[in-house]
Amino acid sequence: MTVQSVSLVIAGSGGAGVVTAGSLLLEAAANAGWYALMSRSSGPQIRGGEAAAMLRFATEPIMSHDDSFHLLMAIDWENIGRFSAEIPLIATSLIVGDPAHGPAPAALLGGKPREAALAMTAIAEKIESGRPNMVALGAIAALIGLPPEAMQAVVEQHLKRKGQAAIDASMAAFHAGVTAAADLPATPKLPAVAAASEPRWSITGNEATGLGVIRGGVRFVAAYPITPATEVLEWLAPSLAKVGGVLVQAEDELASINQIIGASYGGVPAMTATSGPGLSLMIESLGLAVAAEVPLVVVDVMRVGPSTGIATKSEQSDLNIAVYGLHGDAPHIVVAANSVADCLFTTQWAVHLAEAMQTPTLVLTDQAMGQARAIVPRPAELAFIGQRLTATAAVEGERYKRYAVTASGVSPMAIPGTAGLTHTADGLEHNEFGTPSSQASDHQAQMDKRSRKLTQFNYGDHWAEIIDADAGPGDLAIITWGSSTGPAREALRRFSDAGGKARLISVRLIAPVQPEKMAAALAGITRAVVVEQSHSGQFYRMLRAFYDLPKDTRSLHQAGPLAFGPGRILEQLNAWSS
């Protein structure tokens, strides 16, 4: 059944407490038993300035925003017009502003939304210590059907330390908003859910990423701050300390990647997180990790490129550098998370893959999922714990071969401290012992081995998420990856609800490619649309390079920062089936 959901935005300028209001609403929604997704957007100012919290609530898990918003609640209008492209409003949308701040900016009215007024400032002024944002929350709660008790609990929790008076003032403003909402036009309501049907978490993609690597066994992290990856690190620093690990802030990304190479060579699973500009600086040393066969995980929380681009906004355009960016032939692993919750699965899996294959593994997430907070079903326990094939004792009369040519391509690795197995790991081409060699035969043998270990590994079913419409796959497919999976899922769901047949293939294992598995997934498919958020259609090109695609394959790509709404994808499916 098509997701029943409510989408709304709270916006206002710096001091207006927009982000706090959004967070309170999210928590209250969680209390009400709903699922939720919250993203934020803000202006260029370092602090203050305009901000918007985009929220979507539903009675079942959701992974994407909708095509438009039901409600925009603007605490004031200052520069909010700048968000117009990010906040699609249509004729059925409702835009509510405070008459004290004048009329809504024209930029927001393009879709001819219904307009209404709520005197938030005036109402708040009548309550001692009352604040307009609590009035707004009250009105929103009433409009969308959020029970006041759900908010009560949240406010009590948040203002505990400020005392009962503060709590009362807040709730008074809230209730005034509830009351005032009676005069507002209606918006869709969500049913309250008595008790949540399953345990749920509130987590951001960046937190899930941090948790995933810790679960996978990472205990050493070196990093250099960069938006939007910093929160991964900020979560990891204190969390690692709690489980016997360490985070070191390095002088730059060249240092952070090389520090984790050193730590991993020393036997401690290691990772770093960065974004495009930082990944660019790590390229040379990623090649070193490939050649010297040092396992490690690098998370790239993608932002809009090229160059410094737009640091605070999302795009899926680092696929190329992640897959092809290294000089020489440098086989490595690239995986991509497809939702906030999947950041956990994918990074934990990444540690497992890196350690098992002694190779650098890149994880692609992005600003949209990294900085979004979601209420999600409690993630499953996973069996992926980084496990390295080690050499632990010398074999009498045999010199240890660090880079032994094996059938699997994986060579048992001696960890420093192990007697009798000393050797030098090397980024120069080498023979099996690790001794530098310029012989074509050694190069060929090591190249074969390094690529074989990746192609022969058993990735199970995790290479992709494959979802069929209720009526089956039919002959249509959506092929996508990463953040575009959320809207693609929802497009499929709507298509399915309308009786359509189609299959969604969201690729998690970007490299090495899995031609056989993809061929199986594409069996019977004659038309496919490749969905991604990049200007040049990087994913489509990559698929063409390595897979046999259906003859009628279309590329649906757009540059960031605007995400696909499910509707754009649905359109293509409908066009085909009509």
x/- mask, a second copy, residues 283-312, rule CB under 8 A, reads xx--xx-xxx-----------xxxxxxx-x
Q: Which is nearer to another protein, 381 or 516 (CB)?
A: 381
Query: Any contact of residue 161 with ligand SF4 (CB under 6 A)?
Result: no
| Alpha carbon 149 to chain centroid, angstroms | 31
Q: Can you give the binding site for ligand TPP, defined by CB under 6 A?
A: 224-226, 253, 277-278, 281, 308
Residues 48-80 as b/e (b if ≥16 CB within 10 A, e otherwise) read eebbbbbbbbbbebbbbbbbbbbbbbbbbbbbb
* Other CB atoms within 10 A of residue 277 CB: 17
Q: Which is nearer to another protein, 1 or 383 (CB)?
A: 383
Residue 128 interaction partner, one of a second copy, ligand TPP, ligand SF4, none, beta carbon < 5-8 Å per kind: none
Q: Which is nearer to another protein, 119 or 196 (CB)?
A: 196
CB 82, min distance to ligand TPP, A: 22
Binders of another protein among residues 240 to 269 (CB under 8 A) are 241-268
Q: Which is nearer to another protein, 373 or 517 (CB)?
A: 373
- Beta strands 464-468 and 503-507 are antiparallel
Q: In the beta sheet, which residues pair with residue 220?
A: 246, 270
Query: Any contact of residue 327 with ligand SF4 (CB under 6 A)?
Result: no
CB 46, min distance to ligand SF4, A: 4
CB under 8 Å, gap of 24 or more: what pairs does 380-383 form? 382/215, 382/345, 382/348, 382/349
Q: Residue 129: which of 87, 165, 99 has the closest Cα?
A: 165
End-to-end, the C-alpha distance of the chain in Å comes to 21
x/- mask, ligand SF4, residues 201-220, rule CB under 6 A, reads --------------------
Q: Residue 298: which of 249, 260, 338, 254 has the closest Cα?
A: 260
Q: In the beta sheet, which residues pair with residue 464?
A: 507
Binders of ligand SF4 among residues 2 to 61 (CB under 6 A) are 46-47
Q: Which residues contact 326 (CB under 8 A, 6 or more apart)?
A: 283, 286, 287, 290, 332
Binders of a second copy among residues 518 to 547 (CB under 8 A) are 534-536, 538, 541-542, 544-546
Q: Which is nearer to ligand SF4, 44 or 306 (CB)?
A: 44
Q: Which is nearer to ligand TPP, 308 or 408 (CB)?
A: 308
Q: Residue 313: which of 275, 350, 361 has the closest Cα?
A: 275
Answer whether 17's CB lies under 8 Å from 74's CB: no
Q: Which residues contact 372 (CB under 8 A, 6 or more apart)?
A: 37, 38, 39, 204, 205, 340
Answer whether 148's CB lies under 8 Å from 137's CB: no
Query: Any contact of residue 194 with another protein (CB under 8 A)?
Result: no
Binders of a second copy among residues 411 to 430 (CB under 8 A) are 427-429
CB 93, min distance to another protein, A: 29
What is the binding site for ligand SF4 (CB under 6 A)?
A: 46-47
What is the binding site for a second copy (CB under 8 A)?
A: 44, 82, 85-86, 276-277, 279-281, 283-284, 287-288, 290-292, 304-310, 312-313, 315, 317-318, 320-321, 323-331, 427-429, 436, 438-441, 443-444, 447, 451, 534-536, 538, 541-542, 544-546, 559-562
